Every structure is written in structure tokens, then in C-alpha cells.
Structure 1
Amino acid sequence: MHERILPRIRVGVAARMGGGVLAVALAGCLDRNAGLDDPTVVEPSTGDSSGSSSGSTTFPGIMTTTVDSGHGGSDSDGTTAEPAPEPCGNGKIDPPELCDQGEANSDAGECTLACRWNVCGDGRVHLGDEACDDGPDNGKYGHCDMKCGGPAERCGDLSVQADEGEQCDSSDPHFACLKECTWATSCTNIKASWGDEAKTGLYLIRRMSQFLTVWCDMDADGGGYTFVKYASGTVLDDMNDPQYPFNPEPLTAVEAEQKCGYWGLRLFAPRSPGHLAAAVGAANAKQFAPIQKDTLFPPYPEIDSDVEGYLSIMGVYPVTPGTSCVGKALNSEDCPEWAIKPDPLHPDVVLPYWVSDTSIANQPNTTACAGCSLFYHWNIVAQPPQLAGYITINMMNKGAISSHFLCELGDKLGPG
């Protein structure tokens, strides 16, 4: 028996050989089993068998192919095309959308721009329903609470969370607490933290592990000057009130520096006209009571609350004993022979000073010693009080003395 030839002759071959009869005869010659049941035989088409070019005819044992014209109902890869999903925002809910409110879709509304319900925890704030939403951070310190109803524990809630590093928590800048929930240590950082909420006046700060009542000038040179009044006693001898302290203990400027150092402060030394004016305001403030030695004074703010007492000595010293700028205005530009001692907080910074731009005859003179300082006179009739003059004091190699003076914090170096 000869090897069977599979029926792979296309219809086109049969057509060129003269039609259907010849094709059948050819099939019979090639295949001995023609007419028998065979799984390889393609069944005849049920279409028109006239052989016209408008259709195709198949016969037993012959396979046919049809070329798709591109107008069928399937994709080029033979799969049936799915209709494109409707866009989010058309007002109809088309899976996988959960909602669709058309033009009302909003990430601040009930249905988001992604056609998802706006729920607590998705990181979007649903206005009118949620106060906040920090997504996966909800409930954590400093974020939104778990119900999106408001902030969770945070700095500013008036409760101290020490385990989160808070030292204090207050809504009032006057009580030694910054907005960052850390202790205020100067008027400079109060001004930086609270801004325009901090006005010139009395404040608490925390220094050397203790609270201290200070006067903050929040206007001069941009604000932030810190002052403390000190009084070792009073020049008012009112024997009718035994609570009034008297018998003052006068100190030199050098000794006053040491006393101010107890609170981490220094003796006041003006660094600009604005700084001097701020000190005048602090010294002249009747509500600003002094402190005595290491404790608060009894509540008598009126005791010696005058510029003449508190600004009679200041921290300006001769650079070289016996050398001076006689007849020159007392400021660092006109009189470099006098200077402020370096601030312990900024030892490498040369501090400018400014007492006056008006010269005083024969002052400051050349009798100044290493520990000498000037004694300042004030016209307290004028308001605000005005500097009337100054004189070099050398008493047993010591400078001017006073039982009252101003201490300050040197963290603000001048204008700006």
C-alpha cells in the first residue's frame, strides 16, 4: 500500500483544474479511502456549491481557508473586544467605582475624584464631616485622632506629654513656655516663638533651673531684650512699715556682674540707642518689681522704680587703665578706649556699645583703673528720662557703686 497523502490541497488549486468534478476525481485518485468516514475529512459547506467567486466550496478531503477582511466582530488576535469602561465622573456607578456624583466629585466631598467614598483614614479631609485626616498616621502624637474629629495628643493641647519630649504646654506666652512646648529661657526666643502675640511687658522665663520674672522689650531693634531689676535694699527708709527692706548693700559694676551671673545674666550694657531706650522703659516701669539677692522682693513695685537708681552703673569698662577718650562721645565708634566685656555666651564676638552720641567735657577721663566704671546721671523729670552725663569713678581702685542695677541677657546682640 502506498503512503497516504493528507488532503492539504486548497480550493484555489481545484478551481484552476476546471471545477468541482475534476476536483472530486483528483481526490479519488489520491486517496484510496475516498468516501469512507475519515476524521481528517472536512465536511462539505452548506453554502452555495455553484463555484462562483462570491463564495467558496469545500469538498471531502480538501481544507479551505478564509481571509478576514477586517470587518468582523473580533480583535486582531482573535479575541472578542470588551467595551471600554465608562470614565469616573459621568454620574453613573461603573464597576469598580464605588460612587459617582458627576461634577460633584471632589477629594473634599463625599465621593472623591477617584470615585471612592471619602472615609476617615484615606488621607483626604471630607469637609463638613471630618476635621482632619492624616491617613495611616491618624491617632499618632501630633496628628489627627482616630475618628478624624480633631487633633490627637499634641503640643498645644494644654496637657504636658513628657514622654513625647514636652517640657510645658501653655496658650499664654507670659508663662515661660514656648509654642514648641519647651521652656522659654529669654525674651529673644519668646519673640521668635510667639511673634506678634508677645507684647512688651512682664514675663516668666526659666534659667538655672528656676523661674525668673523679667521685663521683655518686644519692640526695640526688632524685639527680644531681656531685663531683670536687682535691689540689695532701698534708699527709702520707711520705718512705719518694717517689711520695707533698707540698709542697702552697694555693689561696684564688677560685683554687680557677679551678682547677675547667679541667674546666668550680666550687668546691663547698652549696644544701640534702641537698646538703651528699652532699658530706660524697663527701669521706669512701676509694675516691674526688683528682686533682692536670691529671692523675690516683697510686693512693693514702687520701691525705687526709677531710672536714676537702676541705670546709675552699667557694664562699660576701660580697655587699658589710664587711657581714655577725653571729650569724645561715649560709644564704640568714637571711644574705642572703653568697651563691653565679652559676653560669656558669645566670647569671640566683639560687642558694640552705645551710651551717647554727645560728648561730655573732660569725660571719660584718664583716671580709670582696671576695675573702674562710670557713674551715670539721669534727668528723671523728662519723660522718658534722659541721660544728663557721666563721670569716671576711681575710689580705692574701684569704680562707681550702686545698690540698684539692671541685669540683662546678652543673647540679643543689637539691632536686627
Structure 2
Amino acid sequence: MRAQRSELVAGVVVAALVTGCLESNPWFEEPTASGAAASTTQAPTTGGTTAAPPPTSSTSAESTTTTTGSETTGLTADTEFSTSWPLSTSTTEWFSTGDPWTCGDGVPEGPEQCDEGADNSDKGACTTLCTTAACGDGFVQTGVEMCDDANFDPSDGCVACVVPHSCKEILDNDPQASQGQHWVDLDGPEPMPLIPVYCDMTTAGGGWTLLERSPRSDPIGRALFKDAPENPGNPQAPRYRMPRGAMGAAAVISTAMRLDCGGSDYLLTAPQSLFAGEFGPPNCTNAGPVLYQEAELKQYKLTNVQLCTVFVGLGDGQCAGAWSIDEENQYDCLLQAYPWAGNNEAISPPSADAFAVDPQQVDAGHDCHKPDAVRRIMVR
């Protein structure tokens, strides 16, 4: 009997200890599949008193009430100590806890547009910023772009990620390109650097690169085949002419040459005619036939016609006029006189040096012979 009494006492002690341990954390719950504690918890009872349930964790701060016996206590859940489960893996959560992706690991993820790992390159299709190469991003993609200055100014030597060789190429890549000074690379990858040029973007479809601007009041008056630059660094100057080398480079990449004086009178020929007369006589007899696709004088228009043209001018020894046409004197080139009206009918005064701004004989009704006339020679 004594032994049984001892065993009974021991059992009561163990039960009491176990009950005490359980009551030290009476609100413990297993995480639910939804990531939040059950909305209703059955509170254990001790000695007829209802134990208060724990505050429910939440990802947003909200008011929670806890009841103990007859007392009600207001508690506020703190987001910082949230115990919701499982932890969120949304993009928003990634940004709030730090980027989980790494540009260069070969796996496009998050905001990356691409990721080729070790092959990422600022010269390739996927940049070192894990962005897809595109014109305007400031990186030059090998084999695709010639330049990329990250702006949309077509006049600075880079237009639509192309280094332009001519005003025509600028206009082709940017139809809204403005008239005025632009930078071009006339000879492509060769040693000649970018140079400033004047682009006429309106005359006859635009895209013309200016080679010479010669005012009637102060004419240049030199044969085009001679190297006689005027203000080569300032193509907007009133008196301007490219160096011969640059003029030749511009002609090589062009398909047309135009001469006009700002009105309806003009000549249109092949750019290969630019240096015509180079191997002619070294005096005022230096003239020869030139084939013009179009030639208009005083509203008389000719197409695909040869006209005898004088290449030397006032500055070359008081000659008739640099690049001029005397409709009366076409016989020097074995051509028929008075080509515009025909039937030996002249439309200008005798021996007038049409299209020259340094003429020996003037036609007051001709665009190029007006006091404020400015002659332009352009290629496209």
C-alpha cells in the first residue's frame, strides 16, 4: 500500500509539470496553408478563466482587440514582425528586399530585356546593362550601327546611327532634317575627317551638298577644277568654296550636279562633269561640250542636250566667265547655236555669258546676272 501511494503522488507531480509547460504558450498555432492564422481560435480554460487569444499577424497595420476576462485591450499589429507564411515572392517583394537577379548570369529575368551571360557586350546585341541594343542607347553595335550618340540631332555627324557621307544620306535617314550646316564624312572610312557642309533640303527634292556659293557682287570667278577654297570651315559664309579634294570626294558619291542662282534658271548634269576642262588649254579658249539632263533659261527648257560650256573665268585671266554658256557661240564645240529657242532665235543679248556670276557680257533678265544674285553649285 505504501508503494502504491508513492507512485500516485509521483504521477500527480508529473501531470502538474506537464500542465504548467503547456500553459506557458497557450496560443501557439501551426502555420496554415493560406499563410495566416485561423480566424477563430478556441481559447483554453484554466480555473474557469478564458485565456486571451494572441493578436493576428497581418501585412498591413490594423487595429486588433484582445479580451481577457471582462477587460478589452486594444493592440496594433506591426508589419515588421509579420509571421505570415509562406513569404511572398512577388516582384514587389523582390524590389523591397533587394534584386534577386544578376545581369550577366545568362538568365533573363526581372526587368532584364536580355542576358547572354559572358557574351553581354556594349558592342553586341545584348549590352552589359542587359538591355537589347537599339539606336539611341549610346552604344555602337558592331556590324549594325556606324555611330550612336544617344541623340536625335541629324546635323552632328550621326543620324539614325549612320555616319552620313552626304546631305542626301542625311535626308534619306531623317526626312525632317533641317536646311543649313551639317557634318558629313565625304570619303567614308578613309583618312578624311568629318567636315561641315551646307545642305539644301528644299530645292528640287532636297539633299544637295553645296560645293560653291559665289555672289554676283564678289564672285570667285575660278574654274571648278582649280583648288581655290573659300571659307572651307564655314559653309554658311556668303562666299564659300570647298577645297578641290573635298569637292571630288562629294562628286564620287553623287549622281547629279546642279548650278543655279536662286531662280528658275538652272543647269543639271552628271557629277563627273565637275572638273571638266581640267586638261583643256591654259587660256580663255578652254571650253567643251557638256551633256545636261536639264537646262532652263528664261523659262525655255531643254533636256538631254549638249551645250558648249566655258570653264574658266574672270580670275583665270579675264575670261568670259567661269562655267558659262554663250547661246550664240556654240560653234566652238561644233554645236548648233541658239539651242533654247532654235531657228537662230536668241533669247539673250549677244554673247551674254549665261550662268556665270563673273560675266564679261551681261543679260539683265537672267537670274545669275542680277545685282544680288548668288550662284550655287551643288551635288546630290
Q: TM-score, normalised by structure 2?
A: 0.36
More strand by share: 2
Considering only CA atoms, is the larger Rg found in Structure 1 or Structure 2?
A: 1
